[in-house]
């Protein structure tokens, strides 16, 4: 089944090169001072709000938003409407007409998008795309030792500037796998190593996002001290190179609902994350954003 999905997605990703905007273009309502950034949305303060209501965040399931390095493309996943399975979407800024244009890139979707600090790779869990002169490449597959067991797969992988991978590992009906990392050594990634208990405590340890300089790691987990379901945590790198105890982002970010898949925009200004705003069946999940000061103010609490 995984092979079938891979072949389907590989073919569909060619749409990035040939017909990236074949589907309808959506004109975004723009605030005058923000028309070329953030899909024309007025940025939030220290209280999270849904990102781009009616465009990205709707009454169905949207999650894992990611901006390109130049902030002129936004990628996210949506489930619902005409798709019974998740589909992959892009909003891209058109410099010619000054509009953000929406396209469906692929359906079904595989992998949660995280773009590398240099903007040249879009990580999609076990898979990735490379930037080319004409757009994104066709889908490529990570090779061992990062991926070494067909019964497990990576939901989300994030890379630092020096090429180190940080990723979760998911296995059906098993919520105990740790978040791991794999350094790039002499052009090859080492055998993955589990992060310490400062991070790997609790269950459903998922969706890591590493800072470009590896100064902090965002992730989500279910812990006894949490607010209910999955919460978002941050761990800061210490002066001696160790990881500080993970800090819950607090009740402005975390609720008794499911919060997950946090990341920081390439310009370093905003925290994005996903939240279940519907019932327990996850029919309505939205992408939220908030000023990144809410996490950097925690740095002295480790």
The predicted pLDDT at position 18 comes to 36
Name 287's bridge partners. 274
Predicted confidence at residue 149, as pLDDT, reads: 61
User: Taking residues 89-109, what's their average pLDDT?
Assistant: 90
The least confident of 3-17, 22-36, 98-112 is 3-17
- How confident is the model over 249-260, as pLDDT tens digits? 999 999 999 999
Domain count, the chain: 1
The pLDDT tens digits of the residues spanning 193-222 come to 999 999 999 999 999 999 999 999 999 999
Using pLDDT thresholds of 50, 70 and 90, give the confidence band for residue 171. Answer: confident
Averaged pLDDT score across all residues of the chain: 86
Tell which phi-psi region holds residue 264, choosing left (phi > 0), alpha (psi between -120 and 50) or beta: beta
**Structure tokens belonging to residue 264:** 């920081």
**What string of H, E and C letters represents the secondary structure of 165-182?**
EEECCEECCECCCCCEEE
Share of the chain above pLDDT 70, in %: 85
| Per-residue pLDDT at 9 | 42
Alpha-carbon torsion angle 85, 153, 137, 220, nearest 10: 80
* Ordered DSSP codes for 213-279: TSSEEEEEEE-TTSSSS-EEEEEEBPTTSPBPPPEE--TTT--SS-EEEEEE-TTS-EEEEEEE-S-
Whether the per-residue pLDDT at 151 is higher than 60: the answer is: yes
Say which CATH number the domain at 238 has: 2.120.10.30
281: DSSP letter: T
Question: Is 259 in contact with 236 (CB distance < 8 Å)?
Answer: no
Range of the domain at 57: 2-301
Distance of CA 54 to the CA centre of its chain: 20
State the average pLDDT over residues 228-243: 95
| Residue 281: predicted pLDDT | 73
Each residue of 9-28: b (16+ CB within 10 Å) or e? bbebbebbeeebeeeebeeb
CA distance 131 to 119: 8
How sure is the predictor about 29, in pLDDT bands with cuts at 50, 70 and 90?
Answer: very low
């Amino acid at each position: 089944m995984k092979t079938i999905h891979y072949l389907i997605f590989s073919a569909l990703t060619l749409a990035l090169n040939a017909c990236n905007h074949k589907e309808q273009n959506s004109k975004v309502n723009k605030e005058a001072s923000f028309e070329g950034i953030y899909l024309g949305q007025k940025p939030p303060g220290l209280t999270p709000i849904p990102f781009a209501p009616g465009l990205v965040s709707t009454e169905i399931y949207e999650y894992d938003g990611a901006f390109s390095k130049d902030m002129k493309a936004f990628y996210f996943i949506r489930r619902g409407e005409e798709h019974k399975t998740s589909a992959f979407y892009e909003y891209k800024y058109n410099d010619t007409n000054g509009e953000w244009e929406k396209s469906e890139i692929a359906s079904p979707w595989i992998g949660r998008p995280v773009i590398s600090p240099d903007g040249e790779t879009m990580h999609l869990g076990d898979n990735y795309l490379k930037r080319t002169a004409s757009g994104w490449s066709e889908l490529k597959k990570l090779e061992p030792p990062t991926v070494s067991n067909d019964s497990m797969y990576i939901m989300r992988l994030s890379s630092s500037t020096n090429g180190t991978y940080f990723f979760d590992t998911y296995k059906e009906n098993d919520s105990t796998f740790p978040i791991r990392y794999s350094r790039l050594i002499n052009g090859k990634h080492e055998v993955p190593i589990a992060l310490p208990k400062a991070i790997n405590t609790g269950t459903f340890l998922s969706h890591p996002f590493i800072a470009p300089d590896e100064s902090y790691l965002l992730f989500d987990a279910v812990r006894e001290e949490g607010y209910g379901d999955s919460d978002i945590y941050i761990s800061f790198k210490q002066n001696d190179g160790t990881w500080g105890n993970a800090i819950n982002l607090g009740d402005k970010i975390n609720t008794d609902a499911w919060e997950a898949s946090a990341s920081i925009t390439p310009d370093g200004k905003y925290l994005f994350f996903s939240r279940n705003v519907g019932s327990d069946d996850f029919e309505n999940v939205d992408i939220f954003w908030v000023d990144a000061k809410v996490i950097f103010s925690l740095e002295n609490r480790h």
